[in-house]
Amino acid sequence: MKKSLLSLAFGTFALGIVEFGMMGILSDIANDLNISIIKAGHLISAYSAGVAVGAPSLLFLRKFPLRRLMLLLAAIIAVGNALVALSPNYVCLLSARFIAGLPHGAFFGAGAIVCSKLADNGKGASAVAVLVGGMTIANLIGVPGFTFMCHILSWRLPFGMVALFGLITFIAIKYWVPILSPLPDSGMKGQFRFLSKPAPWLIYAGVFFEQASVYCWLSYISPIMTKVAGFSESSMTFIMVLVGAGMVFGNFYAGRLSDKYTPSIVTAIIATLTIVLMPMMYMFASYKIPSLLFAFIAPGLLFGLGGPLQYLIVRYAKGGEMLGGAGIQIAFNVSNAVAAILGGAVIKHGFGLASPALAGIPCAIVGAIALYTLYYHEKRM
């Protein structure tokens, strides 16, 4: 693996920890700051708001040389999480979480372009999979370790360690990523020109609806596993490691397959498998062994989509590559929020704790249609 690609994966590893790790430590923060769990939940929303604001900021940084831009984003990762660790009160913590979220979408968006430039011929999708792979490794080992340290020591210490990892990312990029010229400037209007074509919208639809399909279920994995499948609360650590392992596996092999075939057909087939899987997840939700298999396979399918589609958007967003890549992360984050609401709605209306899997089926179908349409669009070109 090229060290230049690895340096970018360091950054997405840090981003993955702070995005997903917060969900498991809200009670610790609420108790320490003497706030309600609902107010603590706003810390997740503050990060997502930072992602939504930070991603479009690439429009104003498009003239930056690419390595300098990645260094800036790595520095914000370090500073943002240092501020989280040192926040003396809730208001400061809320502001720090917003700052920590600013580089998230931009790092993925600009990083996908850097990966495409650094990749060997015919290995573009695999290179972007390395970028996304940092986040999958974060879910496999980083988030469980982060949660453990928060429970045993202090919730502040792990954020300080993530800040240190941001500094390591900065140093690695400085020494391992070669100097890359900025992208040709097509002007402010030119940044949006790619949106006049159907392919980017099909990619965004694939991201949004396929992410939502699995996240309808994944958002409620804890009550589904403990109250439906019958696992103990203590088993959730192992189950979440299994989820992370599925993400690593799916991201790695989808990247390889996308280089061998085409990303559009690989992601369309993955979407089809998701349609088949979702009703099975509902029907066998009360059985332990199938539930464990689903905990591995469903996240694997989900992250099998991420790398190839992040690679494709760079190809189809000529003149607005940074905005296109950052848009993927906006679609991911908005989809997560919608999926949680959708999954909660079917439970609230009495369909049972396992029903979020059913809610994900229509989303999976729409996503698959978008990706097959993208594939046939490519064949006509």
The enclosing domain of 294 has a CATH number of: 1.20.1250.20
Integer Cα distance of 132 and 286 in angstroms: 32
Per-state percent for the chain, helix, strand, coil, to nearest 5? 85, 0, 15
Q: Cα(first)–Cα(last) distance of the chain, in Å? A: 33
Give me the sign of the Cα torsion angle 279, 285, 286, 292.
positive
Contact assessment for residue 108 and residue 310, using Cβ atoms and an 8 Å cutoff: yes
24 falls in which pLDDT band (50, 70, 90)? low
Q: Judge if 257 and 370 occupy the same domain.
A: yes
Q: Are residues 167 and 203 in the same domain?
A: no
Q: Is the pLDDT of residue 190 over 70?
A: no
Give mean pLDDT, residues 71-91.
95
Indicate if 29 and 143 belong to the same structural domain: yes
Whether residue 39 sits in one domain with residue 146:
yes
Q: Fill in the amino acid letter for 82.
A: A
One domain for residues 269 and 367? yes
**String of b and e for 310-341 (b: at least 16 CB within 10 Å)?**
bbbbbebbebbbbbbbbbbbbbbbbbbebbbe
Position with higher pLDDT, 54 vs 124: 54
Higher pLDDT, 195 or 304: 304
How many structural domains are present in the chain? 2
Whether residue 183 contacts residue 62, with contact meaning beta carbons closer than 8 Å, is answered with yes
Do the beta carbons of residue 213 and residue 340 sit within 8 Å?
Answer: no
Per-position b or e across 210-233, b if 16+ CB within 10 A of its CB: bbbbbbbbbbbbbebbbebbebee
Rounded to 5 degrees, φ, ψ at 40 are: -65, -35
| Residue 225 predicted with pLDDT over 80 | yes
Same domain, 288 and 350: yes
- The verdict on 120 and 217 lying in the same domain is no
Query: How much is the pLDDT for 187?
Result: 67
For 184, phi then psi, to 5°, come to: -55, 135
- Token output for 302: 């989900």
- Based on the fold, state whether residues 195 and 251 are members of the same structural domain: yes
Residue closest to 235 by CA, chosen among 227, 244, 245, 225: 225
Structure tokens at 56: 């479009």
Q: Is 255 in contact with 129 (CB distance < 8 Å)?
A: yes
169: confidence class by pLDDT, cuts 50, 70, 90: very high
260 vs 124: which has the higher pLDDT? 260
Listed residues 153, 180, 207: the one ending a domain: 180
Same domain for 5 and 116? yes
Residue reference for tokens 């189950």: 239
The string of pLDDT tens digits covering residues 92-147 is 999 999 999 999 888 988 888 888 888 877 777 788 888 888 888 888 888 888 87
Domain edge (last residue) among 156, 180, 204: 180
pLDDT for 23 equals 65
User: In this predicted structure, what is the pLDDT of residue 166?
Assistant: 94
Q: How far is CA 372 from CA 22, 271, 276, 353, 366, in A?
A: 35, 9, 16, 31, 10
pLDDT higher at 303 or 169: 169
Can you list the pairs that 186-193 forms with residues at least 24 positions away whose Cβ atoms lie under 8 Å?
186/319, 186/320, 188/59, 190/319, 190/320, 191/59, 191/62, 191/319, 191/320, 191/322, 191/323, 192/320, 192/323, 193/319, 193/320
Residues 29 and 98 in one domain: yes
Domain boundary among 128, 148, 180: 180
For residue 164, what pLDDT band results from cuts at 50, 70 and 90? very high
- pLDDT computed for residue 37 by the predictor: 64
Q: Give yes or no: residues 61 and 95 share one domain.
A: yes
pLDDT at 1: 64
72 burial (CB, 10 Å; 0-12 / 13-18 / 19+) is middle
- Domain housing 49: 1-180
pLDDT at 274 over 80: yes
Shared domain check, 238 and 340: yes
Q: Supply the pTM of this predicted model.
A: 0.80
